Amino acid sequence: MVLPDRGRKGRESRIFGRNTPLGDPGARAPGTFARLLHRGHGPRLIGTRTAWTTICDGEFFCPGCGGDRNYQRRTGRRRFVFLGVPLLSRGDAGPVVECAACQDHFGVDALDHPTTVRLSAMLRDAVHTVVLAVLTSGGSTSRRALDAAVTTLRGAGFDDCTEERLAALIEALAADTGRIGDPDCVPGLAIELHEALGPLAPHLAPAGREALLLQGARIALADGPYTPAERDVLATAGCALTIDPDDVARLLVAATRTPR
């Protein structure tokens, strides 16, 4: 499907006139000749016209209007237009991502940012993974640690989480992997933590990454001081969250001093 140009926000670069962010870098201020040919809001007589072709569509977080929006990914063909007639090819344009709401164009790297719905799901998964990692690393699961974990998980959106369900899940994990109390569990846990936290970390502010680590730390502290296995798991979580090891150490100490 080839779509006609639209004039909004200079999405079509006019000769000697305004230019799109992705348009012709050689465009310059209007000259006399161009002003004569293109007066006010009349028909475009001379300039560069881009015909866009939609490649695919989907949903993305629009950095322009700030929300989850539909997008179309497009490539274009630029043509020099004289007296309204396309004459010369001026090469390809894009690919670009066009927001269906604000209709602005962005580079395709805009698709790297997750939607808010996806980000929320990633955050929930991350909390779940950190909580389970801490609980299963401890060698035994105390009532107080379970209490703290249920509170944290409910706060993250797991409304139906109960101590019984969590205990059953941990038992099932232990039966499946032999994880609890197993000194060789760390590589498996590290992989799970990196898988859950790694993709999320670039999209969280430092305070958000630290908050995730502190949630794990408070569960580890619920039944007493950190065990070596809990320290290992929390250090791994900090690494997956791209928190500096010195900051991880500082946060783990800070967690022992702050009320839960």
- The binding site for Zn ion (CB under 5 A) comprises 62, 64-65, 99, 101-102
Least separation in angstroms between CB 52 and Zn ion? 16
Smaller CB separation from Zn ion, 30 or 64? 64
* Residue 117 C-beta: closest distance to Zn ion, Å: 16
Q: Shortest distance, CB of residue 29 to Zn ion, whole angstroms? A: 28
What does the alpha-carbon distance between residue 175 and residue 188 come to, in Å, rounded to a whole number? 15
Q: Distance (Å, rounded) from C-alpha 48 to C-alpha 58?
A: 28
Q: Is the peptide bond before 95 cis (omega within 30 degrees of 0)?
A: yes
Alpha helix positions (H), the chain: 32-37, 116-137, 143-155, 163-177, 186-197, 206-221, 228-240, 245-257
User: Which letter does DSSP use for residue 258 in this model?
Assistant: S
- CA-CA distances (angstroms) from residue 25 to 15, 21, 50? 12, 9, 15
The residue with tokens 């369900």 is 165
Amino acid 103 reads: Q
Q: Which is nearer to Zn ion, 106 or 226 (CB)?
A: 106
122 alpha carbon, distance to own chain's centre: 9
Q: How far is the CB of 110 from Zn ion (least distance, A)?
A: 10
Quote the least distance from Cβ 246 to Zn ion, whole Å: 40
Residue with smaller CB distance to Zn ion, 45 or 101: 101
Q: State the residue for tokens 């990454």.
A: 209
Q: Which is nearer to Zn ion, 36 or 65 (CB)?
A: 65
CB of residue 62 to Zn ion, shortest distance in Å: 3
Q: Which is nearer to Zn ion, 9 or 77 (CB)?
A: 9
Query: Which CB sits closer to Zn ion, 64 or 208?
Result: 64
